[in-house]
């Protein structure tokens, strides 16, 4: 490329030209809230906090309200020992995996303690403040509901420096992996359900991601902002993380910081983990993108996806950077029946690797070599895991040469990994946590410890008939032209019929008209400096997208047009993913 990429690391949805609706900092927030209080009148204020929020900062920040009675919701929780016993069957003893289930926040609270706190609230006079995770559950009734939120990525940063523990557990000193696992399978499930229950009743929404610099908008403005997001294309806020195999491509192309040892991951479109930035004038409120999925599922996803998956965003776009790095772990994803039986998930991580860029020696490990002795391979993997001779992946697994714009389909059950010197756009189904590592090339994680290997699960899911010929015929560059017009052509690039996601690549020098067909579209600009996404009916403002940026087109948009922003000397390219109607 003869131009400098302009990847936007902080995309925002402009909600309003005025910043007067947004209050920044606790003193300003306190002044705004005090205007709604009537002197001498009994007022119950609930400050519900998503787990991971600094609740002591919230309590101190709201001190200006002059509450005569201040109650922490934590007082009504079950004891740490009771919670451990309750949750043990769902968490198990595996360091990574637990079992998914629909938790409600109330199940973590003690009935007698809750009744006692409710009695105290009923007797109290003046201004009463109940704060913390579960505050709305404990209070039951209130005059003013504040919702203090924090994004998943910020929570993980706090876990890594041991700033926070899990709900009802004095465990901030636990390993980040342990904290994340408990949050992923328990805390976040319960809190997400509670946030959904409270959404329509929130009087003020508080973004508490930045320490001592919260941003607050009214609940009505928050709900309107989220509704507006579904009526236009948008991007979620990406985040980047190093890893033992990480590379340098993203650092160079996305102008990333020099301090981290590498950049292995970028979650460019994983709404369960990513956030949205809502812009009010020059002020920004950051909020979990998952709320948009839960509150506007039909508009965002489309009714067919909601019928199949519920209010879950089923498509994931992320980057895997191994340029000047190492191989990913050799791995396999669970079959749909296996993940349902063992982990309570309704669908699995079918995926694909799209080569956004590649060095001359890049390869993708995919499928088994002809005539592999399954018993011998099991023995070699087990021996390597026990500290014996390193596993010889090249003896058992195909290493396919990989070049820019190649597309490899990877249905669940297929052994695979990206080799070094690749920049992969991974397009997949969403339940990413269920990856069974088989071999990690005898290396340590960034924490100096071996990463968890799941041989039992992995070996139970390998499809031994997916050998070289089957992979070559079914999974590598299954490209076919499906439509064309003046200055454009459309290609189906996969995925395999086992997978429920369809991908279409467009090469174009002229505008291309797309139709969501009433279902979610997710796209990435694979080639070219910049495009603009427009509504043929001027239903939304023109939306500019830069090279390598992933963007979401809500199902309710219908027709939209993708065009080069300037005369194209050579074809640009996008890839679009959507859920097959028969998937």
Task: Name the token pair of 409.
Answer: 């389909």
- Residue 395, pLDDT score: 96
- What CA–CA distance (Å, rounded) separates 63 from 570? 61
| pLDDT band, residue 494 (cuts 50/70/90) | confident
Q: Which CATH number fits domain 13-227: 3.60.15.10, 3.60.10.10, 3.40.50.300, 3.40.640.10?
A: 3.40.50.300
Residue 125 has pLDDT above 80, yes or no: yes
Q: What is the mean pLDDT of residues 516-532?
A: 97
pLDDT at 39: 80
* Whole-angstrom distance, CA of residue 562 vs CA of residue 482: 18
CA distances for 241 relative to 188, 351, 562, angstroms: 21, 20, 31
| Rg of the chain in Å (alpha carbons) | 25
pLDDT tens sequence across 30-73: 999 999 888 889 999 999 999 999 999 999 999 999 999 999 99
Q: What is the pLDDT of residue 432?
A: 64
Cα–Cα distances in angstroms (integers) from residue 332 to residues 270, 299, 328, in the given order: 20, 34, 12
pLDDT of residue 498: 84
Domain ranges of the chain: 13-227, 480-579
Please state which of the ranges 337-341, 344-348, 405-409, 428-432 shows the lowest mean pLDDT.
Answer: 428-432
- Average pLDDT for residues 355-374, to the nearest whole number? 97
Topology adopted by domain 480-579: Jelly Rolls (2.60.120)
| Residues 191-219 pLDDT 10s | 999 999 999 999 999 999 999 999 999 99
Tell the residue number behind the tokens 């236009």, with chain if given: 232
pTM: 0.96
User: pLDDT for 219-261, tens place per residue?
Assistant: 999 999 999 999 999 999 999 999 999 999 999 999 999 999 9
Mean pLDDT of 84-99: 95
pLDDT tens digit string along 377-430? 999 999 999 999 999 999 999 999 999 999 999 999 999 999 999 999 999 987
The answer to whether the bond into 495 is cis (omega within 30° of 0) is yes
The mean pLDDT value of the chain amounts to 95
Q: Please give the backbone phi and psi of residue 255, each rounded to the nearest 5 degrees, phi first.
A: 55, 55
Percentage above 90 pLDDT, the chain: 93
Minimal CA–CA distance to 514: which of 546, 481, 561? 561
| pLDDT tens, position by position, 539-573 | 999 999 999 999 999 999 999 999 999 999 999 99
β-bridge pairing 488-494 and 480-485? antiparallel
- CB-based contacts of 225: which residues, under 8 Å, 6+ apart? 13, 15, 217, 278, 285
Give percent of the chain above pLDDT 70.
99
pLDDT of residue 583 exceeding 60: no
């Amino acid at each position: 490329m003869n131009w400098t990429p302009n990847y936007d690391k902080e995309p925002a949805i402009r909600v309003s030209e005025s910043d007067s609706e947004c209050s920044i900092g606790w003193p300003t927030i306190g002044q705004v809230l005090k205007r709604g209080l009537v002197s001498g009148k009994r007022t119950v204020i609930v400050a519900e906090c998503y787990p991971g929020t600094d609740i002591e900062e919230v309590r101190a920040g709201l001190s200006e309200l002059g509450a005569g009675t201040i109650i922490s919701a934590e007082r009504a929780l079950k004891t740490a020992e009771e919670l451990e016993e309750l949750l043990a069957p769902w968490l198990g003893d595996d360091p990574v995996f637990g079992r998914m289930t629909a938790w409600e926040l109330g199940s973590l609270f003690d009935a007698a303690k809750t009744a006692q706190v409710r009695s105290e609230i009923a007797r109290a006079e003046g201004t009463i403040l109940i704060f913390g995770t579960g505050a709305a559950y404990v209070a039951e009734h209130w005059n003013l509901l504040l919702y203090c939120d924090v994004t998943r990525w910020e929570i993980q940063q706090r876990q890594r420096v041991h700033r926070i523990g899990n709900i009802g557990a004095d465990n901030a000193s636990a390993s980040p992996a342990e904290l994340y696992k408990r949050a992923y399978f328990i805390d976040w499930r319960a809190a997400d359900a509670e946030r959904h229950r409270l959404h329509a009743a929130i009087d003020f929404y508080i973004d508490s991601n930045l320490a001592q610099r919260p941003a607050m908008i009214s609940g009505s403005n928050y709900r309107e902002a989220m509704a507006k997001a579904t009526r236009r294309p948008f991007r979620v806020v990406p985040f980047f993380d190093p890893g033992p195999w990480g590379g340098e491509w993203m650092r160079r192309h996305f102008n990333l910081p020099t301090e981290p040892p590498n950049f292995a991951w970028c979650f460019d479109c994983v709404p369960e983990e990513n956030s949205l930035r809502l812009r009010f004038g020059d002020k920004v409120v950051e909020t979990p993108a998952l709320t948009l999925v839960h509150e506007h599922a039909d508009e965002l996803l489309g009714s067919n996806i909601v019928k199949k998956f519920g209010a879950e965003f089923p498509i994931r776009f992320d980057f895997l950077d191994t340029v000047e790095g190492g191989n990913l772990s050799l791995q396999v994803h669970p079959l749909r029946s296996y993940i349902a039986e063992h982990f309570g998930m309704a669908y699995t991580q079918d995926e694909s690797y799209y080569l956004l860029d590649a060095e001359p020696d890049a390869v993708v490990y995919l499928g088994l070599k002809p005539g592999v002795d399954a018993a011998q391979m099991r023995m070699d993997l087990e021996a390597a895991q026990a500290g014996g001779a390193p596993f010889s992946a090249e003896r058992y697994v195909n290493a396919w040469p990989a070049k820019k714009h190649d597309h490899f389909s990877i249905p669940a059950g297929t052994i695979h990994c990206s080799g070094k010197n690749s920049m992969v756009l991974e397009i997949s189904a969403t339940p990413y946590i269920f990856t069974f590592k088989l071999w990690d090339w005898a290396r340590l994680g960034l924490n100096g410890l071996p990463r968890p290997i799941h041989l039992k699960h992995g070996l139970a899911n390998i499809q031994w008939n997916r050998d070289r010929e089957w992979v070559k015929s079914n999974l590598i560059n299954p490209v076919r032209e499906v439509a064309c017009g003046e200055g454009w052509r459309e290609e189906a690039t996969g995925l395999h019929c086992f997978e429920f996601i369809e991908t279409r690549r467009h090469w174009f020098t002229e505008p291309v008209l797309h139709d969501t067909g009433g279902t979610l579209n997710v796209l990435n600009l694979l080639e070219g400096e910049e495009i603009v996404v427009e509504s043929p009916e001027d239903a939304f403002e023109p939306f500019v997208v830069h090279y390598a940026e992933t963007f979401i087109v809500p199902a309710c948009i219908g027709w939209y047009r993708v065009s080069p922003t300037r005369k194209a000397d050579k074809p640009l390219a996008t890839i679009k993913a959507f859920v097959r109607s028969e998937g």
